[in-house]
Amino acid sequence: MKSAVLVFPGINRERDMARALKLASGNETAMVWHAETALPKGTDLVVVPGGFSYGDYLRCGAIAARAPVMDAVRNFAAKGGLVLGVCNGFQILCESGLLPGVLMRNAGLKFICRDVHMRVERSDTPFTRGYNAGQVIRVPVAHGEGNYEADEETLKRLEGDGRVLYRYCSPEGVVDEASNLNGAAHSIAGIVNERGNVLGMMPHPENHVEEIMGCTDGRGLFAGLVQQFEKAA
């Protein structure tokens, strides 16, 4: 699996992501500066990492969504290439039109930095094949604008099409208000586009892939992506 991680001014999780990808695939990850107009040849996966692109001016992800490299990402996705956006990356994917909806201020109006639990809703996608449907995983979050919102029609379509892949829940897998830390509609933590090749999620699986962190629940996402390309080969 050949992956490329985008780098914008203010992004701060690009190295975490590159390390997780290398640990999973054994391959070095290309770092692509925001001013580039093309992705490296042979790219299989593009990742938009977390951080504070352009200082989160205007709206989170709004400026980054209009960076030169995003035209290449949109073309890549249109051809079926896999794209993963985490935290600020999720915000950028929404602002760029690659995913519906928007990420608003957390319901409590405070920055949240802690581990959360998510329920894996499906296991038959490139982004979830490393898990079992219904499995509960623990990963960190670090965001002030993670409250996913969309109009009712969009939410119905996301649910009806099975495009909600990750949902905030209790350690036992119960989806309830107490576990919905940022107030996201339908407790949504991660969604895919209609084609299923673009995933946006708020939690950071890249920070739970090594034993030293005390939890390795994030490994499944990256292992599943590697398996996806091994199967294709």
Beta strands 82-86 and 198-201: pairing type?
parallel
Annotated catalytic residue 113? no
Q: Evaluate whether 103 touches 60 at the Cβ level (below 8 Å).
A: yes
Q: Evaluate whether 25 touches 50 at the Cβ level (below 8 Å).
A: no
Supply the Cα-derived Rg of the chain in whole angstroms: 16
Measured between alpha carbons, how far apart are the two ends of the chain, in Å? 10
Both tokens assigned to 228: 């996806």
Question: Which single residue is written with the structure tokens 């969604």?
Answer: 191
Annotated catalytic residue 169? no
What are the residue ranges of helices labelled H in the chain?
14-25, 69-78, 88-95, 152-160, 219-232
Annotated catalytic residue 206? yes
Q: Nearest CA to 91 among 121, 118, 70, 119?
A: 70
How many degrees, rounded to 5, is the angle at CA 145 between CA 218 and CA 151?
Answer: 100
- The catalytic position among 60, 87, 94, 169 is 87
- The catalytic position among 34, 117, 143, 204 is 204
Within 8 A by CB and 6+ apart from 7, the residues are 14, 31, 32, 33, 34, 49
* Residues labelled catalytic: 87, 204, 206
